[in-house]
Structure 1
Amino acid sequence: MKVILFGATGMIGQGVINECLRDERVQQVLAVGRNSLGIENPKLRELVQPDPTDLAAIAGELAEFDACFFCLGVSSVGMKEADYRRITYDLTLKVGRTLAAVNPKLVFIYVSGQGTDSTEQGRSMWGRVKGKTENDLLALPFQAYMFRPGFVQPMDGVISRTPLYRVAYAITGPLIPLFKRLAPNAVNDNREIGRAMIAVAASGANTHVLEPREINARAKS
């Protein structure tokens, strides 16, 4: 399959691109972002530009892709709702609507988060915004799947770009193996998320909203 990947420099995105480059089911990856990945691989192609949601440069190729893995996002910590919505909702739907219009057979997988509010009415700002993003993506005319990982364990030396998360991982890192044994369906590592995305893009899933348990199950298929 041919995959478009957004957010490949993030903690989850790095795990996803590593799995895509390893997996024989993926023939080509187009990584779209503001910065180059610095990776040399015959399967990888990059589109580096200030606005990663502007797909005009590849408009003629969009119908050729089988899947889009959308891992682009920011932490809501310290952000006003309008700013968080602009990045989380507006940019995501811009890409989603563009792809759905030209390629309704595409599989679009969006990285959301456990605790997302599908009612869009809850007290959590990020949960409401993520909920609306999920709902509007699911309404578009392509095959959309929402991934809601739980606690994400970074693998292969990947480090979060968010300072608060780096501190949290430094403190909790030694406890993650124990936590994973005690609550295996509350933890996903970034390798598992990548494997699950490829599996869902290749053969679907029995639900369009995948919580940590479903992500781990699809990672093994």
Structure 2
Amino acid sequence: MQDVLITGASGMIGNIILEECLSSSRINKVISLVRRTSNHEHTKLEEEIIEDFTAYDNHRDLFKNIDSAFFCIGVYTGSVSDKLFKEITVDYAVHFAKMLKEHSPNAKLCLLSGAGADRTEKSKTSFALYKGMAENQIDKLALEFYAIRPGYIYPVEPRKEPNLMYGMMRKLYPILRLLGSNFSIKSIELGKAMYEIGINGADKKILENKDLIHHLKEQSERE
């Protein structure tokens, strides 16, 4: 029985992971860090409102005795200023990881990163640069850390696409799927794969799109 900590449970992937945790007999408790209450009620769920995701001084107890943690907060490129994009992508993730390291050093941590994350930190693309920065800084903490790098995430549930590019990608998904496991993954597949890796661990610390699909396939075959 594990105690789980998650941020970003209101998002597409975070919500799938949350539901997997709540329905699993392997999970004892889920602490969800949120900006505002979701009114989601469950006997396993404890929601905690966080005003500043870079300041956890008044919330240290939430990070104690955690077995597995998921960081799923993210923002679409171009939807906010570059400064805020970096703060959300790097600072939020690193502060979360540092608190986890301090209070539950043996916990597993899954970071929702992305394909192309650049650990050389030389990319001129904000997404690749900042995802690489976050991975590097968290890796230095010596947690059991897994960087999850999906390609295009196909939303299984209908939604209003955040911009024109994502609208086009959704229409092109059948073609992307035909290109193989390197380029795309369904939202439900990604959520389930992250959940399994966060709870059970994995052989690799950096999991690209094809690794996530392979991991999920192996899990399905074992069941």
How would you bin the TM-score normalised by the shorter chain?
0.7 to 0.9
Unaligned runs of 5+ in 2: none
More displaced 10-residue stretch of structure 1: 53-62 or 103-112: 53-62
Q: Could you tell me which amino acid in structure 1 is paired with residue 50 of structure 2?
A: Q
Residues 83 and 142 of structure 1, relative CA distance in 2, 3 Å threshold: same
- Separation in 2 of the partners of 1:37 and 1:168? 29
- Separation in 1 of the partners of 2:79 and 2:44? 38
1:193 aligns with 2:190: yes
Unaligned runs of 5+ in 1: none
Q: What are the residue-to-residue correspondences of 1:52-201 with 2, within 5 Å? A: 52-77=53-78, 79-155=80-156, 157=157, 159=159, 163-164=162-163, 167-168=164-165, 170-173=167-170, 175-177=172-174, 179-201=176-198
Q: Could you tell me which amino acid in structure 1 is paired with residue 88 of structure 2?
A: I
Structure 1 equivalent of residue 21 of structure 2: 20
SS at match of 2:78: coil
8 Å Cα contact 1:19/1:191 also seen in 2 = no
- Separation in 2 of the partners of 1:58 and 1:158? 35
Identity of aligned residues (%): 28
Equivalent position to 1:217, from 205, 214, 223: 214
1:42-79 CA deviation, whole Å, 9 max, x = no partner? 22110123224544454235231111100001112154
Q: Could you tell me which amino acid in structure 1 is paired with residue 74 of structure 2?
A: G
**1:168 offset after TM fit, Å?**
4.8
* Alignment RMSD (CA, Å): 2.2
TM-score of the two chains, using structure 1 as the length reference: 0.87
More displaced 10-residue stretch of structure 1: 75-84 or 2-11: 75-84
- Separation in 1 of the partners of 2:107 and 2:125? 31
Q: Could you tell me which amino acid in structure 2 is paired with residue 28 of structure 1?
A: K
Structure 1 equivalent of residue 44 of structure 2: 43
SS at match of 1:163: coil
8 Å Cα contact 1:33/1:52 also seen in 2 = no
Aligned pairs, number: 217
**1:158 offset after TM fit, Å?**
5.9
- Separation in 2 of the partners of 1:78 and 1:61? 30
TM-score of the two chains, using structure 2 as the length reference: 0.86
8 Å Cα contact 2:14/2:72 also seen in 1 = yes
More displaced 10-residue stretch of structure 1: 39-48 or 137-146: 39-48
8 Å Cα contact 2:70/2:198 also seen in 1 = no
Which is bigger in relative contact order (C-alpha 8 A, separation at least 6)? Answer: 1
1:76-114 CA deviation, whole Å, 9 max, x = no partner? 215443322122111211111111112210111101111
- Separation in 2 of the partners of 1:53 and 1:116? 22
Residues 218 and 158 of structure 1, relative CA distance in 2, 3 Å threshold: farther
Q: Could you tell me which amino acid in structure 2 is paired with residue 188 of structure 1?
A: I
SS at match of 1:207: coil
Q: Could you tell me which amino acid in structure 2 is paired with residue 21 of structure 1?
A: L
8 Å Cα contact 1:20/1:194 also seen in 2 = no
